Structure 1
């Protein structure tokens, strides 16, 4: 079992960084009371973490390729743990928001290196199993956040949702230093101009989506942020083309598999997870469930995704990546259609079960292979870059989805006023329909672009698990 200890170290970090995306939601009212802050101002406790992740993932991936994936992973864990402690000790809202931003910096370093570490440590069937477990942890963590947050907040206070990260991060650091190989440093240097321009573009776009969803798309600051994001994105292209060591090698975008996976990642995250925010509102505001019971109502998705990802990981290496990814996205679309058909004004929480369970099967199939396929579609020296890129698109997809679907949801609720039950049901109905469309488009993009034959069987010997140097993935597993 020693060969799986590196996977444990990687999954511990992945779990706490993704739990912290959603764990804060249910604690905001308690935070507002204790810190004497408005609930709306504390929304930035959630938003600034998402903004830091989206803005810094690509820069973190570039640093990982340059200085080594394990080094940056450990650094990220350390920053994340210290920032979590600062969050718990925050005396006011400003200090808490600042600490959450720093926590996002650490999370970006962890997120950018996680998939590359799995790919570099395992090969063959072991790699499929490892990515299956890693993907299961990814899917379960995001969905488990509200449940964990509700339990800790009700039992110990909101500070506990941050303090719980400390022992997990310490265990992850200790295990990483013991069982993961150091790996070599990459050649070249950091593309500082590219990193700065991309960070401005990603941060501006994320801010524009967050603010536009809250204050309207015509809001002056939202428009200015969109303009800045567009200008920075345009400037980014010549900056990268002229760089001897680009942060994002634009030549990779000419690979249909890589480009298709990026598009699929953005739409996948939008379709699978953005709608859960509005379902949670319906469960608590309309059905009157507690935060814990509301979180448990979402478990058909989290539980099914965890089981399917772990089981499918043993077999997905036998298929071309587009099969589980495309098939998984089609199932997410089917699950969304079931929600569209099941939820109405008189529905209870049981109306969610079938749709969430089917979507969970899709999440379990697609998540592990989506990231591993992107990492393996590029040269090994670009593994950190590829992992960071696909996770950046996933994070932007989540932010874009919440903003756009939130506008759809709000319009439907207002149109049905003052009938709260009918308004929320109508809003979820329309959100589910658009999620189904997004998942179907994602499936088509992946099935059309990732044209790879099923890989041949190859040895299941782990690479790096016993201190061996990192090596390139076998040709049979690479996506051309």
Structure 2
């Protein structure tokens, strides 16, 4: 079934592909930024005289508000209007990107990165909710597959282009890559995207505050532990406080019922619970790899930033070309088998990365693992997104997409916090620690596939 036709007389572009284009461009901002900064970390560290903990926070300052506020961003779109929040998020993200490019020191960079994370937390769930609301049936599977493919391709181009910029001009211009993409996304959204979601869901400020506090405290304590290799009193306090805030969050959401930011009734479905656990496991594994592999190749293998960025190309391009097809396949046969087989194959790809050695050839050490990993994730990314949107009623698509994105970013956030234990190493110890991280990633991905097999039905139809 085709997309809904815009009703507003102000809309001048009526083809559904314009809606798809707007959501792709908007979400690509976050995908590009998330991949390109990892390639620039060594250069940022040298330029701003940052230690391993500072480099972790260059990533975490973005990931923390992104993870903590995705729920609120999706719920706000369901309440105030998804197109309105999409444009707001893009504007905020773009202004913060310019701030990153102009940052005179690490403190300013971290502050601007945090604002970027807030903008991404607003734009990401609303871009996906708009997509889920605009297409039906097989058209939805194809649209989400295209969305996922475009995001993967953007993630592929980001490290290569960013690596070239870092090697020739410096790390600051990488943040300006976002500006033309943002301008195009805003123009198309205002001209072609129909408003949806206005007034459908109440806002839950208490829940948002508790989720933010919990994630901040947990991530801070894990980062402190992974950097110092010991749990200090402050780290234990952060861990305890984060767990307490998480418990309060669950209690508050339970009492608010359907008025909650994250209605716990959604977890009455085994499928939604299984998709949540699968997402956490798979993206925790992936988040650690995307951060660590470029760093290890540059610091341990002597790669240039451009070479390290290009090393990720087979991975992202493979996902890009496979996601559209698998989105269509999952719509036909259901998500259970793609989400079972895909993560298990990805786990084999993670395991192959133990072949990465400083002096080994890229073709025999890095490429085999990246190719197998791309094959597995191509089978999982689009079906996962489609399954999440199909597991809830239409009124909660923004909340559900925000929650699922939050779980994915939280998995990556925790992996980033723990990655400090690898980044702090040097020489052969760095390579050994990376091999251990690759095996952990393999186990997490394989476990995600098992979860899908045990919890998902053959077909997954949206509740009425």
Normalised to the residue count of structure 2, the TM-score between the two structures is 0.89
Task: Name the stretch that deviates more: 291-300 or 22-31.
Answer: 22-31
Q: For the residues of structure 2 that align with 1:149 and 1:8, how far apart are their CA atoms?
A: 23
Task: Name the stretch that deviates more: 285-294 or 140-149.
Answer: 140-149
1:248 to 259, 262, 266: 262
Unaligned runs of 5+ in 2: 1-13
Residue-by-residue CA offset, 1:28-61 (whole Å, 9 max, x unaligned): 4554565576675454332200111111111111
- Is 2:437 aligned against 1:437? no
Q: For the residues of structure 2 that align with 1:196 and 1:49, how far apart are their CA atoms?
A: 17
The corresponding residue for 1:57 is: 70
Q: For the residues of structure 1 that align with 2:180 and 2:66, how far apart are their CA atoms?
A: 22
Residue-by-residue CA offset, 1:223-256 (whole Å, 9 max, x unaligned): 2211111110111122112226101101111210
Q: For the residues of structure 2 that align with 1:167 and 1:329, how far apart are their CA atoms?
A: 35
- Is 2:318 aligned against 1:312? no
Q: For the residues of structure 1 that align with 2:384 and 2:392, how far apart are their CA atoms?
A: 13
Cα 1:425–1:87 change in 2 (3 A) is closer
- Is 2:294 aligned against 1:288? no
Cα 1:410–1:3 change in 2 (3 A) is closer
1:386 to 392, 400, 405: 400
Q: CA deviation at 1:199?
A: 1.5
The corresponding residue for 1:96 is: 109
Q: CA deviation at 1:403?
A: 3.8
Q: CA deviation at 1:217?
A: 4.5
- Is 2:395 aligned against 1:377? no
CA RMSD of aligned residues (A): 2.5
- 1:172 is paired with a residue whose SS is helix
The corresponding residue for 2:6 is: none
Cα 1:142–1:240 change in 2 (3 A) is same
Task: Name the stretch that deviates more: 213-222 or 256-265.
Answer: 213-222
Q: CA deviation at 1:479?
A: 7.0
Q: Is the 8 A contact 1:375 1:383 kept in 2?
A: yes
Q: For the residues of structure 1 that align with 2:108 and 2:125, how far apart are their CA atoms?
A: 26
Q: CA deviation at 1:24?
A: 2.2
Cα 1:367–1:292 change in 2 (3 A) is same
1:327-406 equivalences under 5 Å are 327-340=341-354, 342-343=355-356, 347-350=360-363, 351-404=365-418
Cα 1:343–1:12 change in 2 (3 A) is same
Residue-by-residue CA offset, 1:372-420 (whole Å, 9 max, x unaligned): 211220111111111111111111111222344654x579x68xxxxx3
- Is 2:449 aligned against 1:478? no
- 2:379 is paired with a residue whose SS is helix
Q: For the residues of structure 1 that align with 2:435 and 2:201, how far apart are their CA atoms?
A: 51
- 1:133 is paired with a residue whose SS is helix
Cα 1:216–1:479 change in 2 (3 A) is farther
Q: For the residues of structure 2 that align with 1:362 and 1:430, how far apart are their CA atoms?
A: 20
Q: CA deviation at 1:327?
A: 1.6
Q: For the residues of structure 1 that align with 2:32 and 2:351, how far apart are their CA atoms?
A: 27
Cα 1:92–1:345 change in 2 (3 A) is closer
Unaligned runs of 5+ in 1: 415-419, 456-476
Task: Name the stretch that deviates more: 180-189 or 226-235.
Answer: 180-189
Q: Is the 8 A contact 1:42 1:93 kept in 2?
A: no
1:270 to 272, 281, 284: 284
Q: For the residues of structure 2 that align with 1:50 and 1:304, how far apart are their CA atoms?
A: 25
Q: Is the 8 A contact 1:28 1:39 kept in 2?
A: no
Task: Name the stretch that deviates more: 137-146 or 323-332.
Answer: 137-146
The corresponding residue for 1:207 is: 220
Q: CA deviation at 1:182?
A: 0.9
Cα 1:2–1:34 change in 2 (3 A) is same
